[in-house]
Structure 1
Amino acid sequence: MSFGRLHPAWIVAAVGFIALVGAAAFRSVPGVLMEPLHEEFGWSHGTIGAAVSVNVLLYGLISPFAAALMDRFGIRRVVAIALLLIAAGAGLTVFMTQAWQLVATWGLLVGIGVGSMSMPFVATITGRWFVRQRGLVTGVLTAAGAAGQLVFLPLIARLAGDYGWRTPSLVVAGTALVVVPLVLLFIRDYPGDIGVTAYGAEPDSAAGVRTQAPGGAGRALTVLFSIARKPVFWLLAGGFAICGMSTNGLIGTHFVSAAHDHGMPATTAAGLLALVGVFDVAGTIASGWFTDRVDSRYLLVAYYSLRGLSLLVLPVLFGPDVQPSMWAFIIFYGLDWIATVPPTVALCREHFGADGPVAFGWVFASHQVGAAVAAFGAGFIRDIQGSYTLAWYIAGALCGLAALMSVSIRRKQPSSVDGVVRV
C-alpha cells in the first residue's frame, strides 16, 4: 500500500471516516421512522423506544469487546463483519410485522454491528497510527460517526414520506455494503505491517508495531477489572452516561417526535436534526484541536455545563415554525453534540496507558447505557404525560452533575507513552 509522500496513516483515517459514516447511517433511522412505525403497526412510543434501547445498549456493551477483538484479529476483519451485520439488520426490517422483530433486527443485529465499530474503533486507529495530531484526528473521526447519524435524516425523512419507511431501510443497508470493499482494500491493522511507523513517531519508536494480544473477551474483562478499581474510571463513565442520555438517547431519538407534537412537520424537524450533524463536524474537530492544547477536564466541564443549560430552555423553543431561538439552539447543540469524545479519549489514554482504547470501550458502554435509558424513559414519559417536557428538564439537571464529575478528576502525574511525554 503505497501513497507517495502522503503518510498511510491519513489514508487509514480517511477510510475509517467513511466507514464510520456508513455504520452510523442506520443510527439516524429511529427518530425519523418512529411516527411511521407507530401509524402502520400501532406500536406505542415506549415500545419503539424499547427497541431503540436494545440497539444503543448493545452499541455500547459490544464496544469494549470489539476493541479487544481488533487487537486479536485485526481492524479490517472486525469492521468488515460489523458492516455486514448492519446491512443485514437494516435490510431485514422490511419484512417485519411484529414488535419483537423490530428488536431482533433494529436492536440486536444493528446494535452489535455498530457497536463493533463505534468510538473504540476511533481510539484504536488514533492509538496505533498517530502520535502527533491525535486529538485532532480523534475529533474528525468522532464527527464522522455523529454526522453519519444525522446528515442522513433529511434523505430518510423524504424517502419515508414519498415511498414508505421500508425504502430508506434498504438504502441504509446498501450504504453499509458499499463501504466493505474500501475497508478490505485500504485499512491495515498496524503501521509496522507495511513498514512504516505511526505518524509523528520517532524512527525507533515502538508506536504502531504489532504486538501479540491476548484473547479478545478475556482482555476486555481483565481491563475492566483493573480500571474499575480507579475512581477516575467511574467519574469518566458517569459523565459519559449522561452524555449518551442527552444526545443519542434523548435528542437523537425523540427530537423529531417532540417537534411534531408542537405542530412542526417531521421533514422540517429532521432537517433541523441534520443541521445538528453539520455543526457537530465543526464542533468535534475543534474539540480535538483544543484537546491537544487545553486540560481535558476543563473542556468537559464547559461542554456539560453549557449543554445542560440549553436543555433547560428547549421546551419553550418548540413551535410549528422554526424561530431564531430554535436556530440558536440547533447551532449550539451541534457544536457541543459529541465534543466530549476527544477529551474523554485523551483522559483514558492518560490514565490507562496501553489499555486506553479498551478502557474507553467500557466508558463508551456507559454512554450507551445512558442513551438506552433515555430512549426508553423519554418515550415512557411521553406516553404517560403526553409531553416530553419533564425529560428535557431531567437531562439538563444531569448534565450539571456530569460537569461536577469532570471537575473532580485528578490530574495524572507526567508519564511517557509512545515515546511522548504527556502531562
Structure 2
Amino acid sequence: MSGLRDWTGGRFHYAWIAIAVTFLVMLITAAIRSAPGVMMVPLEHEFGWSRSAISTALAINLALFGLMGPFAAAAMLRFGLRRTVLAALAMLAASVALSSLMRSNWQLQLLWGLMVGCATGATAMTLGASVVSRWFVRHRGLAMGILTASSATGQLVFLPLMAFLTEQHGWRSTVWLLAIAAACIMPLVVLLLPERPSSVGLRALGEPEDAPLQPALHHNPVRIAFDALGRASKSRDFWLLFASFFVCGASTNGYIGTHFIAMCGDYGLTPVRGASMLAAMGMFDLLGTTLSGWLSDRFPPQTLLFCYYGLRGLALIYLPYAFGLEYFFGLPLFALFYGLDWVATVPPTVKLTTNSFGSQQAPVVFGWIVAGHQLGAAFAALGAGMLRNSLGSYTLATMISGGLCLLTAVWVLLINRRLRGWRMA
C-alpha cells in the first residue's frame, strides 16, 4: 500500500478514502440488518411461523450484534482491522446465502439470529468508531456522522428494491442480492483500507507531527474487552450512556426498523409502501446524522442528545395518529421528524466516549455502549412482537417507546459535563 501515500498530496487526506470504504461496508451491513423487516410477513405466510417466533430470531440477531461489538473492537486492536472485517463479511455472505435453503425455524435462529448477529457486530457502529479514532483527530464528529448515516443510506438504497424483489420474486431473491453485495465489498477492503495511517506513512488527520504513536496491544481480545468494561463500569457516565443507548436501540432498530413494515400492513398499506416510507426516513436521516456530526464538533453533546431523544419521543407518540391523517400531516410528517433523528444520537455519544476514555480504547468502550443499544433493540423487537400478538395492534408498544425516549432526554443531561481523561493501563 505504499503507493497510497501519493494520493494524499495537497489538502486531501487519505482518511477520507478510509471513510468512504468503511461507509460502503456499513451500508451493506445496514441493508442486511433491515432485510428482516421486509421478510417477516412472507416468512409468516410461507412457513406458518408466528410473528413472535420470527421476532425471537431477530431479537437474538440484535442482541448478538451489540454484544459482539466490544470483542470485535478488541479483535481489531489485536489481529488487525482488515482481517476482522474480512472475516465478518465472509460470514455475512455465507450465512445470508445459506438462509435461502432454510425450511425450519431453528435454521432461521441459527443463520439470521446467531451468525448474522455475530458478523454484523464487526461491520457496523463499532467499526465506524474504530476507523474514526485511528484516522481523525480533527473533524471526528463529522466523520462519525457520515459513517452513521450509512445505515440510513443502506435503507434508502436497498429497502424499496428488497420490497419489490420480495413482492415480485419471493424473499429468496432478496437474500441472494444481499449475499452477493457482501461478497463484492471484500476486494475494496483489501485494496483500499489500510490498518492505520502509519501503515501508509501518514498521521491521522489533524494530529501533530510530534505526537507519539499509539502502542499496539498484544493481549487476548477477550481480556482487552473485559479490561475496558471493568474500568469503564466504575464511571457513572458510562452507565448513563449505556442506558441512553439501550433506549436508542429500542426505539429505532428494535421497534421501527423491525416492525414498521408489518405495522403498515395492519393499516392496509402494502410492503412496498411501508419500505418506501422507511427509505424516506433513511433519506432524512442521511441529512440529520451528517448534520449531527457537524454539530457535535461545535456544541455540547449532552444538549444535542436532549434534543434528539425528546424529538424522537414526540414523533413516536404521534405515530398511531399519523396513520389516520391525510397528505403531509400523516406519515410523511412522521417520516420527516423521525427520520432526521433516526441515529443522530451516535456522533455525540461517540464524542462523549472518546473524550472520557481516550482515542485508542474508546472503540472498545463504545462497543460495550453499543451492546446496550442492541440489547434495547432485542428487547423492543421481541416485546413489540409479543404485544402485537396479544393485543392485535402496535399502539401500546409505540407509546411505551415514545415515553422511554422522553425519559432519556432528561437523564442524558445528568452526564458529567466536565469530562475527565482516562486511559487503560
Q: Is TM more than 0.5 here?
A: yes
Greater than 3 Å deviation, 4+ residue runs = 319-324, 413-417
Distance in structure 2 (CA, Å) of the matches to 1:51 and 1:150: 24
The alignment's TM-score, normalised by the length of structure 2, stands at 0.95
Task: Kindly indicate whether the alpha-carbon contact (under 8 Å) linking 1:57 and 1:368 is maintained by their aligned counterparts in 2.
Answer: yes
AA in 2 matched with 1:273: L
Identity %: 45
- My pick for the range that moved more, 119-128 or 311-320, is 311-320
- Per-residue CA deviation, residues 68-124 of structure 1 (Å, 9 max, x unaligned), is 100011110011111111111110111111111001111111111111122111111
What's the counterpart of residue 349 of structure 1? 354
What's the counterpart of residue 179 of structure 1? 185
Q: Which residue of 132, 145, 154 maps to 1:148?
A: 154
- Deviation of residue 405 (structure 1)? 1.8
Q: Is 1:388 equivalent to 2:388 in the alignment? A: no
Task: Kindly indicate whether the alpha-carbon contact (under 8 Å) linking 1:262 and 1:319 is maintained by their aligned counterparts in 2.
Answer: no
Q: Is 1:48 equivalent to 2:85 in the alignment? A: no
- Deviation of residue 334 (structure 1)? 1.0
Q: Is 1:130 equivalent to 2:136 in the alignment? A: yes
- Deviation of residue 300 (structure 1)? 0.4
Q: Is 1:283 equivalent to 2:292 in the alignment? A: no
Q: Is 1:404 equivalent to 2:410 in the alignment? A: yes
Q: Is 1:39 equivalent to 2:45 in the alignment? A: yes
- Per-residue CA deviation, residues 219-244 of structure 1 (Å, 9 max, x unaligned), is 10011011111110110000000000
- Per-residue CA deviation, residues 268-324 of structure 1 (Å, 9 max, x unaligned), is 111000111111111100000000000000100110011001111111111597653
Q: Per the alignment, in what secondary structure is the counterpart of residue 293 of structure 1?
A: coil
AA in 1 matched with 2:274: A
Distance 1:256 1:7, change over 3 A: same
- Per-residue CA deviation, residues 225-265 of structure 1 (Å, 9 max, x unaligned), is 11111110110000000000000000000011111101111
- My pick for the range that moved more, 115-124 or 130-139, is 115-124
Q: Per the alignment, in what secondary structure is the counterpart of residue 138 of structure 2?
A: coil
Equivalent positions of 1:184-333 (< 5 A) are 184-206=190-212, 209=214, 211-319=216-324, 323-333=328-338
AA in 2 matched with 1:179: I
- Per-residue CA deviation, residues 304-362 of structure 1 (Å, 9 max, x unaligned), is 01100111111111159765331011011111000000000000011112321111100
Q: Is 1:114 equivalent to 2:120 in the alignment? A: yes
The alignment's TM-score, normalised by the length of structure 1, stands at 0.95
- Deviation of residue 415 (structure 1)? 5.4
Q: Per the alignment, in what secondary structure is the counterpart of residue 152 of structure 1?
A: helix
Task: Kindly indicate whether the alpha-carbon contact (under 8 Å) linking 1:283 and 1:339 is maintained by their aligned counterparts in 2.
Answer: yes
Task: Kindly indicate whether the alpha-carbon contact (under 8 Å) linking 1:147 and 1:281 is maintained by their aligned counterparts in 2.
Answer: yes
Distance in structure 1 (CA, Å) of the matches to 2:374 and 2:242: 10
Q: Per the alignment, in what secondary structure is the counterpart of residue 137 of structure 2?
A: coil
Q: Per the alignment, in what secondary structure is the counterpart of residue 204 of structure 2?
A: coil
Q: Per the alignment, in what secondary structure is the counterpart of residue 188 of structure 1?
A: coil
Distance in structure 2 (CA, Å) of the matches to 1:20 and 1:212: 25
Give the gaps of 5 or more residues in structure 2. Answer: none
Distance 1:320 1:400, change over 3 A: closer
AA in 2 matched with 1:275: A
Task: Kindly indicate whether the alpha-carbon contact (under 8 Å) linking 1:241 and 1:371 is maintained by their aligned counterparts in 2.
Answer: yes
- Per-residue CA deviation, residues 1-55 of structure 1 (Å, 9 max, x unaligned), is 2314232211111111111112222111111111101110111110111111011
Q: Which residue of 350, 368, 377 maps to 1:362?
A: 368
Task: Kindly indicate whether the alpha-carbon contact (under 8 Å) linking 1:26 and 1:149 is maintained by their aligned counterparts in 2.
Answer: no
Q: Per the alignment, in what secondary structure is the counterpart of residue 252 of structure 2?
A: helix
Q: Is 1:170 equivalent to 2:208 in the alignment? A: no
Q: Which residue of 16, 22, 25 maps to 2:22?
A: 16
Task: Kindly indicate whether the alpha-carbon contact (under 8 Å) linking 1:259 and 1:319 is maintained by their aligned counterparts in 2.
Answer: no
Q: Per the alignment, in what secondary structure is the counterpart of residue 120 of structure 2?
A: helix
Task: Kindly indicate whether the alpha-carbon contact (under 8 Å) linking 1:151 and 1:278 is maintained by their aligned counterparts in 2.
Answer: no
Q: Which residue of 354, 371, 375 maps to 2:377?
A: 371
Distance in structure 2 (CA, Å) of the matches to 1:197 and 1:41: 54
AA in 1 matched with 2:191: L
Task: Kindly indicate whether the alpha-carbon contact (under 8 Å) linking 1:250 and 1:378 is maintained by their aligned counterparts in 2.
Answer: yes
- Deviation of residue 210 (structure 1)? 5.3
Distance in structure 1 (CA, Å) of the matches to 2:85 and 2:156: 21
Distance 1:413 1:162, change over 3 A: closer
What's the counterpart of residue 83 of structure 1? 89
Give the gaps of 5 or more residues in structure 1. Answer: 418-423
AA in 2 matched with 1:381: L
Distance in structure 1 (CA, Å) of the matches to 2:372 and 2:208: 35
Q: Per the alignment, in what secondary structure is the counterpart of residue 361 of structure 2?
A: helix
Distance in structure 2 (CA, Å) of the matches to 1:176 and 1:285: 24
Distance in structure 1 (CA, Å) of the matches to 2:27 and 2:251: 21
AA in 2 matched with 1:253: T
What's the counterpart of residue 420 of structure 1? none
Distance in structure 1 (CA, Å) of the matches to 2:328 and 2:53: 32
Q: Per the alignment, in what secondary structure is the counterpart of residue 62 of structure 1?
A: helix
Q: Which residue of 136, 154, 163 maps to 1:157?
A: 163
Distance in structure 2 (CA, Å) of the matches to 1:97 and 1:360: 37
Distance in structure 2 (CA, Å) of the matches to 1:190 and 1:413: 27
Q: Per the alignment, in what secondary structure is the counterpart of residue 131 of structure 1?
A: coil
